Amino acid sequence: MQATVEPAGAMETVACPDCDLLQQIPPLNPSDRARCTRCGHILATAPRDPLDLPLALTFTAAIFLIIANTIPLMGLSVLGLTASTTILGGALEMWQTGEPITAAIVAFCAVIAPALYTVFMLAVLIAARRPPAPHWIGEMLRWALSMQPWSMIEVMMLGILVALIKIAELATVDPGIGMFAVGMLVVLFPAIMVSFDPREVWKRVEWVDGRLHPLSAVRGTPRMEQAQ
């Protein structure tokens, strides 16, 4: 279906990230999407809860992230001997056994980057709830988006599962609460990325001259997909 085209002054100007075509995006109804008229790339979406849902998911992820890094992932039992460790504990043991590069990569991708992404997202989402949002929100949002590709919780979880399969015949493995917390993070981080639209934050940031969400008219109007 084609959405009603608003007057040019009420449309937002965007450039398609794939083909660079400048287009106008009229106000969208909840669950609507705007696609580029040239290449079909999704230019904008209108989630039903643009800030509340990502904030709830991010807050939940923060809780599980704390649990995953403070409670052991699993316990191993071999011939009466038991051992357990956390993510940071495993990285520290790698460092002490002569694998500093691997330890640094594990610590950054499994702990530091997810923690920074969560903190930045919480700051952005909380501050943007009452427009106009402060100017520093833009910088925090850029840092959050830059940390997003480095948050590789799912890669770590895959490595843990492979290790469990290999040692299952040699030792008794008892998954800990930390393991379940990591599993929840594997679900929560993609959910945050899918539900969060940075445009909703940028529309709330006040410009230096006091304007909010400046709009202008240019050529091209994207195809609109409305919710059924």
The bridge status of strand 12-15 relative to strand 22-25 is antiparallel
pLDDT at 221: 45
pLDDT at 1: 36
CB 150 within 8 A of CB 113: yes
Q: Which amino acid is at 84?
A: S
pLDDT at 157: 75
The DSSP line for 68-115 is HHHS-SEEEEETTEEEEE-HHHHHHHHHHTT-HHHHHHHHIIIIIHHH
pLDDT at 154: 76
Bridge partners of 109?
A: none
The DSSP line for 14-26 is EE-TTT--EEEEP
CA neighbor of 55 nearest in space, from 148, 120, 136, 146? 120
pLDDT at 216: 33
pLDDT at 5: 38
CB 23 within 8 A of CB 43: yes
Name the burial class of residue 46, with classes exposed (0-12), middle (13-18) and buried (19+) by CB atoms within 10 angstroms of its CB: buried
Using one digit for the tens of pLDDT, what is the confidence trace for 113-148? 999 999 999 999 988 887 777 778 888 888 988 888
The bridge status of strand 81-85 relative to strand 74-78 is antiparallel
List Cα–Cα distances, 94 to 17, 36, 83, 91, 162, in angstroms.
Answer: 41, 48, 15, 5, 18
Residues of the chain with pLDDT under 70: 1-11, 47-49, 76, 78-81, 83-84, 163-171, 206-228
